[in-house]
Structure 1
Amino acid sequence: MSKSRSLWCGILTLVGFQLGMPVESAVAQVTTEVSIEGQVEDEKGVPIPNVSVRIDNQKISTRTDQSGHYILKLKSGKYALRFSFIGFQTKVRNADLTAGSLKGFHAVLQEDRSQLQNVEITGRKERSFKDGGSFSGTKTETRLRDVPQAISYVTKEVMEDQQAFRTIDLLKNVSGMNAFSSYDNDFVIRGFRTSNSLLNGLRNISQGWSSSLLPNIEKMEVIKGPASALFANTDAGGTVNMVTKKPLHENRKSVMLSTGSYNTTRVTGDFTGPIDSSQTFLYRLNLAYQNAGSFRQLQGTEDIVIAPSFSFIPDDKTKVNFELMYSRTNGRLDRGQPTFGEAAGLGQGSLYTTPISFAIGKDNDFLNETTLFSTISIQHKVSDKISLNASYMKSMYKEDLLEHRTSNNYAVDALGNEIPTLMGMRTTRRKTLYNTDNLTLYGVYAFNTGEVSHNLLAGYDFIQSLKPKDNNSAFNARGYRNAANTGAINNYRPANSANYLIVDGMPVPNVPHFDLTNPDYSFSEISEYFSLSEANEFTPTKYYVNGVYLQDQIKWKNLQVLIGLRKEYYVDVLNLDQQEEQKVKESAFLPRFGMVYTPIEALSIYGTYTQSYQPQGLSIISTNADNGGPFEALDGKMLEGGFKMELLEKRLAVNVAVYRIEQDNVLVNALDEDNEDLLRPVSQRATGVETDIYGSLTRNLSILANFSYNKAIITKSAVSSDIGDLMANAPRSQGNIWAKYTFTGLKTKGLGLALGANYVTKRNTLEETLQLPAYALVNAALSYSVNKFKMAVNFNNIFDKTHWMGGYDYNRVFPGTPRNFMTSIGYLF
């Protein structure tokens, strides 16, 4: 025995004697470090990652890894281990470590179905690429395989792996979805351009330019096809629903620091847990700051997100959630890459006449956007069969803009000949404010009629968007100077050349032309231009919808039927509260019918019919002859069928959908030389097939993959040459794969390797002679987790492929980002 050990034994003998303890008992109090480890699984033996393993009454805890394994190092003694995870019943097991370490101390958690909600108050249970349920398909929490409609999604785990920061970064992960431009919510879904979006199932009438920020987003859902039967007037191709992160019953805290290409610096934080010991009050706080440049000239943004949320759960009958989300983006408005015009005769080759970094603007341009959302949601169970639900969202969007941009045409000489290297310009100085209110009330009644079960839902929606007269101003300078140089004329007409100021054989522009061969980005003084806005104010507008709806989810044995009916009343007001006030009032009856048949547990076969509806609002399309209106509302319908499978012990989801969507009264520019505002309606049709795969092939290999084939064409038009043309920015085919392997070997534990690739076939633009080429990109990521630290590096567009995400015409195409990287280090506590 060593001298030091003899000394300690002597001291312990003395202490034991003084306390009246046996010598052996005193010696046993020597603090020996031991360990306990095991596996956490569900009832079917599937490992559960990220389970909280906590020692009761002590601040000692850990989490299971991707294979469900955990290990804790403790002092010898007796302990109570608490295993908890969202969606499962908490389990407590007593462990005796006085005799030494324990291995194989496993726990089996049972699913807690009582946590199902009608209004989403607390967060989702999964922490993987796969998600099991959704509120957006039926307005109550329903398994995705039981919803008779395709719903694609991207979970926050994919967002974290890909280090995505904006919504536009996620599009490749959704089948049949791509960008029309780089603007907010300007997407193409199943070939149809879409702009409407939801936030937690509430209509978000966004008027912003910048792609939405993701730091407080739990997952992005895409409801494929019309969703009007539940969410008012929506787009025919689909609707995006952003689900925010909700408070959790367990403590989780993380901080992430990131830096990468284009001088990007990013800091994010996510903090959640109970406020009190009874877990009656829960909180979550998401914070983010980013300062990033761009490969685009004059571009780059400074972004901030502050998003607190609180849940109050006084008992098992009542749940209340309050959320606040503040975001601000300061930068410039990127209108895309300008190229040589059609007169150059280069067609698709025009894309390469200017570098993808090329942009139009001036050094003193700016775009400052502020968005504020506040939401309160309440669920109360009157009984086991009846629940009442209410959600209200108030949102505000504020824009402060100065921009120099193309006027969507090229310079002309005095004879009207186009000069393809000189772009006509316009300048806008604008401040706008939009306020939106969204209220939804509904009740759910669960009952049986014999062997048939019903989940009957009845509800009411009110949606209102207001652009008030106050705080709205505009400066709009464009066109050509008149002969006296005292004002400007919007368009140049060669036949009336005497009315214009002509110098060196060219009409003088109100705002100087932009020379694509010799760009000038210097400071510009807008007071030198003539504004064409007489009152320098926007006309105040108001839009509101009242809707009532019924829905019944019927189940008999292996068959489920969904029947939905909605009656909607729409009002749009122009020149609000003024003598010239105009109103459009419309109504629509919107049915929805779907069936799901489950011949075996792993397979669901479904079919659905639903309709879309969207009025041609007065705030956009006037009823006077300038536009050619009034026009009928956008009217669409969809037939869809497919199957949904859960394989490999429900670790992997495979969804396949076949669809046909038709939409009438889509407005396009009539290309009238005498009236550039003139519009005309066309009809469109999309038919296609989609496949989405989510989940894990093995305990170590996670995968997200999708493929779509879509034929989206114009079927009716007053211009016969349009018929059969592919719709703008609607590729025939596109696909994506993202696979991550997490190593669990002794020497490589914590190491993760991800590889991904995505492709998009060629696409038309709004310009008949300009087509965007196909492209394929390769991405990769490497991560390493040790203790509570996580480090990662992502490489995007590894082979530096020049590509374009979308585009309008020769003067506005939107290039994708060249090769770039992002590194990060995070701490979980």
Structure 2
Amino acid sequence: MNKIALAVFLVCNSGLLMAEEAAGNHSASSALTEETVTELTTLQIRAVKENVGYAVKQAATATKTDTPIIETPFSIQVIPEEVMQDQQAYRLEDVVKNVSGMMSLPSPYSAAYETLQSRGFASEPFRDGQRIMFLTVPLANAERVEVLKGSAAIQYGRVEPGGMVNVVTKKPLSTTHYSIQQQIGSFNTYRTTADLTGPINEDKTLMYRVNAEYLDKDLFVDHAFDQRTFIAPSFTWQPSVGTSLTFAYEYRNEKEQAATGVPAIGKRPASIPTSRFFGEPNLQNHFKAEVFNLTGEHEFNAHWTVKAGIGSYRGNYQYANVVNAGLAADNVTLSRWGLGSNYDHRNTEDAYIDVTGKFDTAGIKHTLLVGTDYHRFRNYANWSDWTLPDININNPVYGLVSKATLKSSPVTAWWSRTDQWQGFYFQDQLNFSDKLYLLLGGRYDTTDMSNGFAGTSMADANAATQTKREHEFSPKVGLTYKPYEWLALYGSYTEAFGGWASTGVTFSGEMLDPESSKQYEVGSKGEFFDGKLSASVALYELTKKNLAISDLAHLGFSLSNGEVTSKGIEFDVSGKITSNLSLIGNVAFSDVTITKDTNGTQGNRKANTPHTMAGLWLKYDFLGDYLDGLSIGGGIYAASSAHGDDADTFKLPGYARLDAYAAYKLKVGTHNVTAQLNINNLLDKTYYPSAQGRAQVFAAEPLNAIGSVKLEF
């Protein structure tokens, strides 16, 4: 039956595959017992029991309800904790390689910044539905990562059309469990993590969890490094079944120096060692950030539930960056520029309330969501522009200007920015039968944006502030048809009201119009082998409008009439084929085209968007014999060539890389011990996944290994 079901699924999707070709070419650790599950609420029981191993059947990110993924008319992929553990992932970059069409673009300014990209557009990171500003999200307390593609995430406010990457954190449990893991690897990598959870009182209505991480790692690029201390305590009070209150806090202290990348020469990256560094040693960025969250949930009865939360993010940044500016005609002399600041404060406040009700009308089952949210972001900063001597890319000499001289440079700019919006949203999921589901929803936003800039003082920046108010309604509609319990066909249409608006201004001094996007998507989802294997196919067209582009008639000013269109097809699969063999894999074919521009790039493929991307990770568990406890596996990740810049002046060559994995689990007394080794880029391939123009082309890590020992008790 499973083979027949899988064949039917492939036949149903063959039309999507042909259309694309014609167009274009949990939860707790495995050591936790069943007792843990029985003491959680009804929703938590479902999440734990159905999301097992690599297979995930439930995710709330897309709808904010308990709708199964197979009944959701949008593309959503989930990377569970077991996959992250098997791959020893500690950055979102390590995670999103498991999702079709996704990649990470490193920043030349900070090793702590990470720009995620899906379907050719930015995908914003969230933590439990709360927006995280400008920094990566540590994974030490991550239970799973849910990725919602495209512009479907309108319940969360102004989201980039690439979608959202929501890190769902570990919650306090009512059963005591402790674990500690030590990782040691290439490039002087040392990472220690701890996870402690359990009840505080005898009746187990008050629970705690503490996750902590210490990271000390050199990058493969000379002089670049990353050091991080992270701690995340949380507490849950559950006075009765269906009622809970959770307080969560995160503290992060990070020091790092970013890689600078290499320049392009001719049509490809320069043939110089990828470890070469063109900044200044001993400069570093320093970040401190805190996150506060208070969330509550109450079930009035079996039909009505209210959820609410407030959150705050506080970030203080000090940075000292030297980045590549441009390569001279001799293809040897690299110009550089620098930027430093000891005053950059970024704060956010968030609040939301959601009411969910389930009821019937005329034989139609409804799941109704009504909610409102508020978000405010404030940024106050100053910085200094640095003048630095050129550097020879074949024989770099550092220290021609002292660190003290750079750090004492006068402040040249002050910046003040406040963005705030309030949204009201609704969603009704109508179940006409066990086969037909209709989703109707929308969001109305009121947004206020203000920017102030001056070269003299913060007071002058505040005095020069411009403000713009926008109102917008964004609809979404989706239809799902399930001809069989294990197969769903769906279609959806969504619109979204911009992400972060450009900070540019027009020649007349006005702030730019907000960006917007719309998406059409059709696809299918299937569950096989008694739900142990999930697969999905999505065909989409996504357009982003009002992009900021240069005003060629007035240099230094911008226009908001750029446009990019992304079309493609994506395939994802995850779960178990047999009791021994698990996999997670993906393939994406995309065509991301600049459809409107004034800079001569109209009709070009957007930079950093390979036509084809694919990944496959396999794990084999030896069970019931003398090798019981041993797991082996590995992965292959590949991409076709891509444009290095929008003007297509150089290419990023295609690549394929291999990873390998082995782990052994055993009992030592009453404790579980796991020893693990991962080898990445096994064949030591040199390749360049992304670039930020001709001056900054970023190589991937060469051959590297990381080993770990984990103790659970």
Deviation at 1:409, TM superposition (A): 2.8
Task: Return the alpha-carbon distance in structure 2 between the equivalents of residues 113 and 314 of structure 1.
Answer: 12
SS at match of 1:818: coil
CA distance in 2, matches of 1:429, 1:748: 55
CA distance in 2, matches of 1:391, 1:285: 20
Distance apart, 1:737 and its partner CA: 0.7
Which residue does the alignment assign to 1:475? 384
Question: 1:364: how far off?
Answer: 2.6
Describe the shift of the 1:616–1:797 C-alpha distance in structure 2 as closer, same or farther (beyond 3 A): closer
- 2:689 is the alignment partner of 1:805: yes
Give the distance between the partners of 2:189 and 2:575, measured in 1 at CA: 31
Matches within 5 A, 1:421-500: 421-431=332-342, 432-468=344-380, 472-478=381-387
1:288 aligned counterpart, secondary structure: strand
Deviation at 1:307, TM superposition (A): 0.8
Q: Distance in 2 between matches of 1:49 and 1:532?
A: 50
Shift of 1:438: 0.9
Q: Which whole-Å CA distance do the structure 2 matches of 1:322 and 1:528 have between them?
A: 45
Structure 1 range deviating more: 130-139 or 630-639: 630-639
- 1:14 corresponds in structure 2 to none
CA distance in structure 2 between the partners assigned to 1:441 and 1:733 by the alignment: 41
Q: How does 1:361-440 map to 2 (within 5 A)?
A: 361-406=279-324, 408-410=325-327, 418-431=329-342, 432-440=344-352
1:544 corresponds in structure 2 to 420
How do 1:260-279 residues align onto structure 2 when only pairs under 5 Å count? 260-279=185-204
Instruction: Please report how far the alpha carbon of residue 131 of structure 1 lies from its aligned counterpart in structure 2 after TM superposition.
Output: 1.6
| Alpha-carbon separation, structure 2, partners of 1:646 and 1:556 | 21
Structure of higher RCO (CA pairs closer than 8 Å, 6+ residues apart): 2
State the Cα distance separating 1:220 from its structure 2 match: 1.4
- Give the CA deviation at 1:616: 6.5
Residues 746 and 695 (structure 1 numbering): CA distance in 2 closer, same or farther, change over 3 Å? same
Contact 2:50 2:58 survives alignment (8 Å): no
Gaps in structure 2 of 5+ consecutive residues: 1-25, 453-457
Which of 32, 35, 41 is equivalent to 1:84? 35
Alpha carbons 2:340, 2:407 under 8 Å: kept = no
Cα distance in structure 1, aligned partners of 2:597 and 2:242:
56
Task: Tell me if structure 2 keeps the 8 A contact 1:339–1:353.
Answer: no
In 2, Cα distance between equivalents of 1:810 and 1:735 = 26
Check whether the contact 2:262–2:698 (CA below 8 A) recurs between aligned residues. no
Name the structure 2 match of 1:564: 441
Distance in 2 of aligned mates of 1:51 and 1:811: 45
| Contact 1:440/1:460 (<8 A) preserved | yes
Matches within 5 A, 1:50-129: 83-86=34-37, 89=38, 114-115=42-43, 126-129=51-54
User: Is the contact between residue 134 and residue 143 of structure 1 (CA under 8 Å) also seen in structure 2?
Assistant: yes
Q: What is the alpha-carbon distance in structure 1 between the residues aligned to residue 219 and residue 405 of structure 2?
A: 30
Aligned to 1:186: 115
Give the match for residue 646 of structure 1: 527
Assess if the C-alpha contact under 8 Å between 1:123 and 1:247 holds in 2: no
- Alpha-carbon distance in 2 for matches of 1:433, 1:530: 19
Task: Give the secondary-structure state (helix, strand or coil) at the position aligned to 2:463.
Answer: coil
C-alpha separation between the residues in 1 aligned to 2:309 and 2:361?
Answer: 30
Alignment-mate amino acid for residue 449 of structure 2? D
The answer for the alignment partner of 2:643 in structure 1 is 764
Aligned CA distance change for structure 1 residues 671 and 298 (closer, same or farther; 3 Å):
farther
Query: Deviation at 1:532?
Result: 8.9
CA gap of 1:760–1:582, structure 2 versus 1, over 3 A, is: same
C-alpha distance in structure 2 between counterparts of 1:368 and 1:590, whole Å? 39
Report the more deviating stretch, 695-704 or 675-684.
675-684
Q: How many aligned positions are there?
A: 670
Match of 1:137 in 2: 62
Match of 2:562 among 674, 677, 682: 682
Whether the aligned pair in 2 keeps the contact of 1:340 and 1:516 (CA below 8 Å) is no
Deviation at 1:763, TM superposition (A): 0.8
Structure 1 pair 440/800, CA: closer, same or farther in 2 (3 Å)? same
For residues 615 and 325 of structure 1, what CA distance do their matches in structure 2 show? Answer: 25
Once the two structures are TM-superposed, the CA of residue 188 in structure 1 deviates from its matched residue by: 1.9
2:585 matches 1:705: yes
How far does residue 247 in structure 1 lie from its aligned partner after superposition?
1.6
Q: 1:177 to 1:419 in 2, by over 3 A?
A: same
Could you tell me the TM-score, scaled by structure 2's length? Answer: 0.89
1:796 pairs with 2:707: no
Aligned to 2:296, the other structure's residue is in SS state strand
Q: Using the TM superposition, give the Cα deviation of residue 256 of structure 1 relative to its aligned residue in structure 2, in angstroms.
A: 0.8
For residues 41-68 of structure 1, the C-alpha deviation after alignment (integer angstroms, 9 at most, x for no partner) is xxxxxxx99998xxxxxxxxx768xxxx
Structure-1 residue corresponding to 2:16 = none
Distance in 2 between residues matched to 1:530 and 1:784, nearest whole Å: 50
* Partner residue in 1 for 2:158: 233
> For each residue in 1:644-667, what CA deviation from the matched residue of structure 2 results, as whole angstroms up to 9, or x when unmatched?
111101111111111111122222
Does structure 1 residue 716 correspond to structure 2 residue 596? yes
**SS of residue in 1 equivalent to 2:414:** coil
SS in 2 for 1:595: strand
**Is the contact made by 2:620 and 2:631 (CA closer than 8 Å) also made in structure 1?**
yes
Structure 1 residues 124 and 459, CA gap change in structure 2 (3 angstroms): farther
Q: Distance in 2 between matches of 1:684 and 1:386?
A: 42
RMSD: 2.6
What are the superposed Cα offsets for residues 295-343 of structure 1, whole Å, 9 maximum, x if unpaired? 1011111111101111111001311111111122211133x312255xx
Relative to structure 1, is the Cα distance of residues 422 and 750 closer, same or farther in structure 2, using a 3 angstrom cutoff? same
Q: Secondary structure of 1:158's partner?
A: helix
2:472 aligns with one of 579, 584, 588: 588
Aligned equivalents of 1:451 and 1:757: distance in 2? Answer: 49
Task: Give the counterpart of 1:203 among 131, 135, 153.
Answer: 131
Task: Kindly indicate whether the alpha-carbon contact (under 8 Å) linking 2:263 and 2:326 is maintained by their aligned counterparts in 1.
Answer: no
Distance 2:296 2:49 in 1: 17
Letter in 2 for 1:665: N
Aligned to 2:18: none
- Indicate the SS of the match to 1:540: strand
Corresponding position of 2:278: 360
Structure 1 gaps of 5+ residues are 1-47, 53-61, 65-82, 91-111, 412-417, 479-510
The Cα offsets for residues 272-297 of structure 1, whole Å up to 9 and x where unpaired, read as 22222322112111111111112101
Q: Match of 1:256, as an amino acid?
A: Q
1:586 and 1:615 in contact (8 A); partners too: no
Residue 370 of structure 2 aligns to a residue whose secondary structure is: strand
1:516 aligns with 2:425: no
Work out which of the residue numbers 219, 223, 231 in structure 2 matches 1:306: 231
2:171 is paired with a residue of what secondary structure? coil
Of structures 1 and 2, the larger Rg is shown by 1
- Report the CA distance shift for 1:693/1:616 in structure 2 as closer, same or farther (over 3 A): closer
* Aligned partners of 2:125 and 2:137 also within 8 Å: no
CA distance in 1, matches of 2:84, 2:221: 24
Shift of 1:157: 0.8
Whichever residue aligns with residue 285 of structure 2, its letter is: L
Alpha-carbon offset, residue 394 of structure 1: 0.4
**Alpha-carbon separation, structure 1, partners of 2:709 and 2:474:** 49
Q: TM-score, normalised by structure 1?
A: 0.77
Q: Distance in 2 between matches of 1:49 and 1:403?
A: 39
